[in-house]
Structure 1
């Protein structure tokens, strides 16, 4: 019978352990990488919905600006060595098409996550589906408050400040500057309009019933809002809160001028675009309009000498030359894409949907093109990435910020 000395047994153990360790190393290295559908060693697929056609097609440029950002990222080697395949589809601002396109992106294109999709009703239409599938629905282009509810919808996260918070700020400004105002409110008749209106009315409090002298709605399929504007003038209102999307916002501003109605105008930030709203309305008709922002416009004096602004302008020139770099919507797309890139960067090689959602809920950084003093912060219990804004007023050529930064 063969025998082993203690030394021999020890040597045999060391050799065996070394071989076992060597055999395990490749598997250990591989174990550090984890992928769900839409992610590989070479690429990450992201899905997106914006209306490239239909009544809100002015928002389509947001998707093109996001594409430009990811083109820049890919030209620089991608994120953690992976190229981003950004698949942006047209839902024509129609919730039924949002459902159809989202299912295609998830089930056929097999995207890792949906990122930056636009519209309140449109994201609501797919929210339960994406949460049931456990597909991240991230950094949405809507300020509806329901998109910051990790308890009931743990796979959904907004991005911009909420509509309710913005509506409250306008109400507070009115109460401070004209406590006896006669207010007319134009509202898109959907979840977007209702959310904005709730914040506005809540902040007016008991005075809402007496201060709001006319409240009119419109449908996105309506051709014009002319009759509502005539009604507002007849009501004697001296203050106008315009809760509408670009097409109707431009119509309202121009119609007010045409009929000689000159109220103090408050404009929802989703329609503050100079290119898509103020220009067709007539810059001269928009002088004095008050809105709010969390973004740093490329022509804002606050951004002079800012390297992020210089890079943004260079990216737009190279990857989206047909886009207007001074259009707010393009700034939104660029900054949203940068936020998604940060979440992917933090995810490293663990590109599961669960880990991407975990990283999205642990952000603390400042993406390019946010107004100075405003940043992105999230936590597992805080799904509202941006919670600060500042008021701004149109001077006939550009917006000028005034007053303090609020929120947070």
Structure 2
């Protein structure tokens, strides 16, 4: 009898151990019946810490849905979202280190909102091998060499923005001589290639182009070269700091070209260092609703309330924070569509969206992807806005490239 009891106790311990191992394996997938774990790596410090507002915006939206009880997923279970955040200072090597920790140590179910084209390039092959979804990256370059099977972007391609800028100039300044200031990464190179393609066959011409890096303390040399080119139009695709420097230089040097800024560096918050008076007349593109304290739009009011409740560490007018909030909303909408709690089901849902609504997007802008037909761009519409010295005013209607994002 003693021997039998010993065997039973051994079997019980073995069973408990096996159960523990199985639970550990399930936990490594980052999802239980009550919670789903999402990893984020972003620039919380460093020379481009302004981009860290994307992470903070995700946190604001996630905090709101958790406070409301969580996300009811497609399998019928309601789960809270547990964010695990790491700082990478927008350094691709640190992003890679962080992602390994998030996947192998924290056991996240998926990643979301990782900023930077080089950063997402750095982690692509690893995530493909691990089969971990990389959702709604913050980069306008969607055609990465590695990681495409487990990747989905969010913001429009930089080729779309370049085409919208070119379209405006063809109609309103058809003989424009363009000076291009671009960040020297695939972001800027993609925009430049898209712009050169978009102006083919027109009288528009790029007469000078200068590269910058996000770490440059000043860009006066590049701007002086662009001014000397005789250009009457300045197009900028650069981080917020360099975008503001370009606006200030153009105004204070007496150049005063027509200035068009990429959405990545054009929010009113980003323009404050340039002096808002200097920024008057700046044109940019947008896919999110303008946010003002006086807005009566229900989605904007909800965003402002969520921002206040979360004690967010970014200004309500910061477009980076708004994009993060939209990223959090896109994550929630995708989780709601997942009918099985697997990573494959999650990436399938993200890569096959059909006019998914997100409240903070402009009217007429929805999330649509069709993996089998090669449509990998959730947002393919933009609207131009002009800064009046205090806020942006609409400049024409929505321009849609749905299903036909320009290639470069």
Q: Scaled by the length of structure 1, what TM-score is found?
A: 0.86
Structure-2 residue corresponding to 1:196: 191
Matched length: 368
1:379 deviates by 2.4
Structure-1 residue corresponding to 2:3: none
Gaps of 5+ in 1: 1-33
Q: Secondary structure at the match of 1:260?
A: coil
User: Which residue of the other structure, out of 163, 181, 185, is the alignment partner of 2:180?
Assistant: 185
Q: Secondary structure at the match of 1:154?
A: helix
1:46 deviates by 0.4
User: Is 1:58 paired with 2:55?
Assistant: no
User: Is 1:110 paired with 2:143?
Assistant: no
Structure-2 residue corresponding to 1:4: none
String of CA shifts for 1:316-337, please: whole Å, max 9, x gaps: 1111344322221221111110
User: Which residue of the other structure, out of 299, 302, 305, is the alignment partner of 2:292?
Assistant: 299
User: Is 1:163 paired with 2:158?
Assistant: yes
1:306 deviates by 2.4
Structure-2 residue corresponding to 1:353: 343
Task: Give matches, 1:326-345, under 5 Å.
Answer: 326-345=317-336
Contact 2:60–2:307 under 8 Å retained in 1: yes
1:199 deviates by 0.8
Structure-1 residue corresponding to 2:117: 120
Whole-Å Cα distance in 2 between the matches of residues 219 and 328 of structure 1? 21
RMSD: 1.9
Q: Secondary structure at the match of 1:111?
A: coil
User: Which residue of the other structure, out of 85, 88, 97, is the alignment partner of 2:82?
Assistant: 85
Higher-Rg member (1/2): 1
Whole-Å Cα distance in 2 between the matches of residues 332 and 229 of structure 1? 28
1:69 deviates by 1.1
Structure-2 residue corresponding to 1:311: 302
Structure-2 residue corresponding to 1:267: 261
Contact 2:30–2:109 under 8 Å retained in 1: yes
1:228 deviates by 1.0
Q: Secondary structure at the match of 2:143?
A: helix
Question: Any runs of at least 4 consecutive aligned residues in structure 1 with deviations exceeding 4 A, and if so which?
Answer: none
1:207 deviates by 5.4
Q: Secondary structure at the match of 1:107?
A: helix
Q: Secondary structure at the match of 2:179?
A: strand
Contact 1:299–1:326 under 8 Å retained in 2: yes
1:168 deviates by 1.3
Gaps of 5+ in 2: 1-25, 73-77, 403-408
Structure-1 residue corresponding to 2:218: 224
Structure-1 residue corresponding to 2:5: none
